[in-house]
Amino acid sequence: MKAAIAIAALGFASGAFAGQNAMLGLPPAPTPPAPAAVVALGEKLFSDRRLSFNGTMSCAMCHVATQGLTSNEVATSVGMEGKSLRRNAPTLWNVAYEKTLFRDGRETTLETQVWSPILSPDEMAAPSVGWTLARIASLPEYPALFARAFAGQGVSMNSVGAAIAAYERTLLKANSRFDRWKFGGQDTLSAQERAGYALFVGKGGCAQCHTIGETSALFSDGAFHDTGIGYRRAGGGPAEIEIRLADGQATRRTRAQLQSITGAPANDLGRFEVTQNPADRWAYKTPSLRNVALTAPYMHDGSLGALEQVVDYYDAGGFESPNKSPFIRPLGLTAAQKAALVAFLKTLTGE
C-alpha cells in the first residue's frame, strides 16, 4: 500500500491494474507494474558500480544474476574493500511479495530499502544521500534516462528508490514443476517428489511456516521464528564447523581456530533488534523456498551449505535455543524420507 502511494506520488499512471498474474503458482502482484522506462532505469542502477563510493560495488555484485540473485560462494556477504557482513544475502527472486524486508524485517518497502546498502559503510559506502544523487546526476547518460522515466522529477531520493524497486518487482520466478502439478493439474512430479511433498505438509511440519495456499504458494508466512540457527551462531554452536572449499571438498576447523581468522561472529539478535521484545531474540523471517535449489548457502548466516544439511538440521530438531519454535522438534525421518524431502525442494525451481 505504501509503495503504491509512493508510486502514485511520483506521477506515473498505474493504468487499469487488474491484479492478474501470468505466473502459475504466484498470487496476483501486490503492486501495479511500472512503465518500461522506469524498470530499465532501475535495472541499470542495480548493476552500476559507480553508485558506490570507490566505484567497486553494485547491488548486482551480492545479488548475482547467475547465482540465484544471491551469492552462492560465500556464507555471509563480502562488501566494500572485502569487509564481511554478518548475514547471508537473500535471493531477490519474488521479492515483490515480501511483506517486510531484511532477515529481521526492519524495512517495509523496496523503495526505501534501496538506501540501506547504498549508505552502509560495509556495502556501497556512499557518504550521504546527497553525494549519491550528485554522483548519479554527474554521469552523462542518467539525466536523460531520469527525465524519460520520471517526467519533471529528476534524480531524487524518491526516483532512485522507485526505479530500483520497479526493477526488483520484475524479478519473478514461478511456474515450477511443483506449480504445474499442484496448481496446474499436470503430472510433473515423480513418486519420490510427491512423497516429499506429503512429508513437507505432513510429518515434517514444514508448511506450518513455509505456507502453501489453495491457488498459489509463497512458501513463507512472512513471520519470524527462532529455528535455533541464530542461537547456535551466537556461540551455542558445535565446537567444530565444516568449511566447504570447493564442490565435494570440505575441511573441519574448531570454532576457536576459525575465530582467530575471522574474529568472533558479529552479534546478531534477529527480529529483537527491531522490536526489542525478548521473545523475538534469534527470530528470523521465514524465507520463501521458491528456487531454493539455486540459492545456497542457507539460513540468515549461510551456515548450512546444502539442502541435505538443512533437512538433517530440521530432522534432528534444530539447535536447542531459549526461544525455539515448538514446530521445530525431532522428526525421526528415515534416510529415504530425507531424500524425498530434498527431491521435493528441488521441484520448486521456477522459470
Site for ligand HEC in 12-51 (CB under 6 A): none
Contact 269, 282 (CB under 8 A): yes
Residue 163 in contact with ligand HEC, rule: CB under 6 A: no
Name the nearest CA neighbour of 119 among 138, 140, 135.
Answer: 135
Q: To the nearest 10°, report the CA torsion of 177, 182, 187, 192.
A: 70
As a whole number of angstroms, the distance between CA 321 and CA 204 comes to: 19
Copy the grid coordinates of residue 249: 571438498
Cβ atoms 77, 102 nearer than 8 A: no
Q: How far apart are CA 250 and CA 203, in angstroms?
A: 32
Set of cell numbers at residue 331: 522428526
* C-alpha cell, 344: 521435493
Q: Which is it for the CA torsion 260, 262, 263, 267, positive or negative?
A: negative
Of the two residues 151 and 278, which places its CB atom closer to ligand HEC in the complex?
278
Residue with cell 560462494: 73
Binding segment for ligand HEC (CB under 6 A), chosen from 26-34, 235-243, 256-264, 306-314, is: 306-314
Measured from the CB atom, the residue of 24 and 89 that comes closer to ligand HEC is: 89
**Residue 113 identity:** Q
Per CB under 6 A, which region of 22-30, 106-114, 140-148, 240-248 contacts ligand HEC?
106-114
Binding residue count for ligand HEC, defined by CB under 6 A: 52
Whether the CB-CB separation of 347 and 193 falls below 8 Å is answered with yes
Residue 63 vs 281, nearer CB to ligand HEC? 63
User: 12 φ, ψ to 5°?
Assistant: -105, 140
Question: To which residue does cell 515480501 refer?
Answer: 98
Nearest of 176, 168, 196 to residue 90 by alpha carbon? 168
Residues 38, 40, 41: CA angle, nearest 5 degrees: 65
Among 176, 325, 337, 347, the residue binding ligand HEC under the rule CB under 6 A is 325
Least distance in angstroms from the C-beta of 302 to ligand HEC? 8
Does 232 sit near ligand HEC (CB under 6 A)? no
68-87 binders of ligand HEC (CB under 6 A): 77, 79, 85, 87
Q: Least distance from C-beta 201 to ligand HEC, angstroms?
A: 10
Site membership for ligand HEC, residue 327 (CB under 6 A): yes
Per-residue binding string, ligand HEC, 266-305, x by CB under 6 A, is ------------------x-xx-x--x--x--xxx-----
Q: Which of 101, 125, 136, 195 binds ligand HEC (CB under 6 A)?
A: 101
Q: Is residue 347 within the footprint of ligand HEC (CB under 6 A)? A: no
Residue 208 as a binder of ligand HEC (CB under 6 A): the answer is yes
CA 140 vs CA 53, 160, 201, 278: distances in Å:
18, 16, 54, 50
Number of residues that make up the chain: 351
Kindly state whether residue 212 participates in binding ligand HEC, applying the rule CB under 6 A: no
204 in contact with ligand HEC (CB under 6 A): yes
- Nearest distance, CB of residue 75 and ligand HEC, angstroms: 10
CB of 247 to ligand HEC, least distance (A): 19
Q: Is 117 in the site for ligand HEC (CB under 6 A)?
A: yes
CB 307 within 8 A of CB 345: yes
Does residue 225 interact with ligand HEC by CB under 6 A? yes
Alpha-carbon gap, residue 143 to 148, rounded angstroms? 9
Assess 10 for contact with ligand HEC (CB under 6 A): no
Report how far residue 219's alpha carbon sits from residue 286's, in angstroms, rounded to the nearest whole number: 8
Span interacting with ligand HEC, options 1-9, 23-31, 91-99, 243-251, rule CB under 6 A = 91-99
Residues that bind ligand HEC (CB under 6 A): 57, 59, 61-63, 77, 79, 85, 87, 89-90, 92, 95, 98, 101-103, 110, 113-114, 117-118, 123-124, 164, 204-206, 208-210, 225, 227, 229-230, 284, 286-287, 289, 292, 295, 298-300, 307, 310-311, 314, 325, 327-328, 341
